[in-house]
Amino acid sequence: MNNDIFEKLKAIAVNDIGIDADKVKPESDIIKELGLDSLDIVDMLMKVEETFGVTIDDSDVVEMKTVADVVRFIENAKA
């Protein structure tokens, strides 16, 4: 897993969404452990698209359960 992508994603979660930094780990479940609701998820995905220059389709979102899943998506989208 790309640590630079993880750290940028963690910064978005902490600074833009307001999640406690200690909770943001690669294995953290986005909904169950981080407590994001649908509006938080949309906001975060928009920030991810803007920050990393990727496009995230609705079908891709369904596959993203953990922070690591989002990192892998970004890695694959940029490859």
Annotated active-site positions, please?
37
As given in the structure block, the two tokens for residue 29 are: 């479940």
Q: Which two tokens stand for residue 9?
A: 């994603």
d(CA 4, CA 31): 23
Q: What is the largest CA-CA distance in the chain?
A: 30
What is the C-alpha to C-alpha distance for residues 69 and 56, in angstroms, rounded to an integer?
13
